[in-house]
Amino acid sequence: MTGPRPRESARHQLEVGAAESQQSRLDSYVAHAIDISRTQAATLIANGNVLVNGKRERASYRPETGDRIDVEIPPPPGREVAGEQIPLDVVYEDDDLLVVNKAAGMVVHPAPGNWTGTLVNALKGRGGELSSEGGEDREGIVHRLDKDTSGLLLVAKSDRAHRVLGAALAARKISRRYAALCWGHLDADRVSVDRPLARDPRDRTRMAIVNSGRPARTDFVRLARFDSVDLLRAHLHSGRTHQIRVHLASLGHPVVGDDTYGGGGGRKLVALPARRHFLHAAWLRFQHPVTGKAMDLRAPLPPDLTQSLLAVAGEKGGIPRDHPDLLEYLGFYRDDS
């Protein structure tokens, strides 16, 4: 097992797209892009930790199409992220990457209030190398999942793999599809939501549809319709915080069990545990960052969501209760976009 690395700054490289140009100030753009508060972004800008095309700009600067914005976040003083012996469900692993089937309830990376018990703590506890690209408290993390969302998550073990996967994610070459149960019924079997997201100006713990926010698109396909809910496949074309949850709530059909966005009632009706919403990252496809091999990884519904799905289907729902992967049975993995 390797010794602890020196603490490093987290670095982010951003490029302003045409849809984002001139829509917000630099501090707002940086806050939305890397999921920090506007005050934190303004402090980074004032301290010279944000460069636009290699130069310092004021917080009031309006980013333009093609601007390259480099953000450096200094590490918090005196806080080491310790490895912990926490079991992980590793779906795939080689010398360059691993894919974890994250359990609901696990926070991905340490932050105030969650310095232990996170996925990063568990990864460090396994030993071996992890990419240092994201900084010491986000080692190897290519993308995130919400705390109460379960499913597949990519981790880079080498810096090269992290850079290639990060670029592929930005270019939308990594396919991420989620199983979601929503309240009520969509107007059609296929629905796309293309609405920008940003921090809710009235509540910084939530996201919201905001005209000046970052572009976000989700495609939904209905796989099954039950009395009070729809089972959906959600395809992310962007990866904004809480994207699927906010987009479904904007349609008036929030994710079942989602206390934050209006779907938290009726848990007994759908046999869903407390503090759990029905959202699972079930299907991940990408090109291996080193070998170029096409990767196709799947994670069946965990037991709590399987129980919930069988409860809403009922005895006459036509779903076999002993099938090893109900998503496969319902056509979740069909490649019909």
Is the CB of residue 299 less than 8 Å from the CB of residue 282? yes
3-state DSSP of the chain = CCCCCCCCCEEEEEECCCCCCCCCCHHHHHHHHHCCCHHHHHHHHHCCCEEECCECCCCCCCCCCCCEEEEEECCCCCCCCCCCCCCCCEEEECCCEEEEEECCCCCCCCECCECCCCHHHHHHHHCCCCCCCCCCCCCCECCCCCCCCEEEEEEECCHHHHHHHHHHHHCCCCEEEEEEEEECCCCCCEEEEECCEEEECCEEEEEEECCCCECCEEEEEEEEECCCEEEEEEEECCCCCCHHHHHHHHCCCCECCCCCCCCCCCHHHHCCCCCCCCEEEEEEEEECCCCCCEEEEECCCCHHHHHHHHHHHCCCCCCCCCCCCHHHHCCCCCCCC
Q: Which one is catalytic: 146, 148, 230, 258?
A: 146
Active site residue 146: yes
Active-site residues, by number, are: 146
